[in-house]
Structure 1
Amino acid sequence: MRKFQHGASYSTFLLGVIVASMILKIVVAIWPAYWDDHIINKQIESTLLENDSNLTPSKFISNMNDRLSMNNINDLKMENIAKVSNDGGQLHVTKHYEVRRHFLLNIDLVLSFEKNFDQRTVQAK
């Protein structure tokens, strides 16, 4: 009588470990950039919500740089990632930046983040 083995072979198990480690490597490489973007969005919204209509773009940028450093986001400066304009007494913030993360050997991951904020819209929420 023949005995049949059940379960994964060594090569299948090794392939599964390799695939799982690649997925983990991708998550570890991109998660901090997405988390930083989430924090930046929340800080922009709260700054636009808390301040009145006489907030100037330079005050906004200074306030945001302070908030980013408090949240331990030291590699991004507001002057480099966003354009702030004053349209009819309301601030309009256009955020656009890219983050490059080293992945493997000479492969880099490029993450692009873009979002527009309007003080009137944020205050209406």
Structure 2
Amino acid sequence: MKRTQRGITLLGFIAILAVAGIFIYVGMKVIPMYTEYYAVKKSMQGLALEPGINNAGTDKIRNLFFRRLYVNYSENVKAENVKIERMGGGWKMTVKYEVRRPLISNLDVVGNFENVQELTHGGPSD
């Protein structure tokens, strides 16, 4: 009785490595974009908990927000991406920005991110 060999061929193994390599490469481009987005989101949530933020001026809010981003090494959010508008009992802050990373040749990975946070926390301010 003849036994047949089973398993993956060298060509199949190389194909699997190529596909895995492409996924890893794309992940290396996309994951930092989402990491930055979650840092922006956490900064906005932390800012919402700041005492007296509902009575602070827009310049102070921007300053506190960009200080938090500086600590998180976020570099894609610019001042023109931040919109702060008055609402009943505080402020509504919207951050909307785009991140574009080159992928291969003339292909880019583009991420459009937007987060809205109400800044209504009262209490004593500094």
**Shorter-chain TM-score: which interval?**
0.7 to 0.9
Q: Secondary structure at the match of 1:73?
A: coil
TM-fit CA distance, 1:73: 1.7
The answer on whether the counterparts of 2:76 and 2:99 sit within 8 Å (CA) in structure 1 is no
1:26-45 aligned within 5 A: 26-45=26-45
The answer to whether structure 1 residue 114 and structure 2 residue 114 are counterparts is yes
Q: CA deviation at 1:51?
A: 3.0
- Specify which structure has the higher proportion of helix: 1
Q: What are the within-5 Å matches in structure 2 for residues 14-29 of structure 1? A: 14-29=14-29
| Alpha-carbon distance in structure 2 between the residues aligned to 1:37 and 1:51 | 24
Contact 2:94 2:116 in 1 (8 A): yes
Work out the CA distance in 1 between the residues paired with 2:76 and 2:113. 15
Give the paired residue count. 120
- Percentage of matched positions with identical amino acids: 26
Secondary structure of residue in 2 paired with 1:50:
coil
The answer to whether the aligner puts 1:6 opposite 2:16 as a matched pair is no
- Could you state the TM-score of these two structures normalised by the residue count of structure 1? 0.87
Q: Which amino acid aligns with 1:10?
A: L
**Structure 2 counterparts to residues 84-123 of structure 1, below 5 A:** 84-120=84-120, 123=121
Aligned to 2:74: 73
Which structure carries more relative contact order (alpha carbon 8 Å, separation 6+)?
2
**Structure 2: 5+ residue stretches without partners:** 122-126
Deviation at 1:59, TM superposition (A): 0.8
Q: CA RMSD in A?
A: 1.6
Return 5+ residue gaps in structure 1 as ranges. none
CA distance in 2, matches of 1:90, 1:100: 33
- TM-score, normalization: structure 2? 0.86
> Which is worse superposed, 60-69 or 20-29?
60-69
Q: List 4+ stretches of structure 1 deviating above 4 A.
A: none
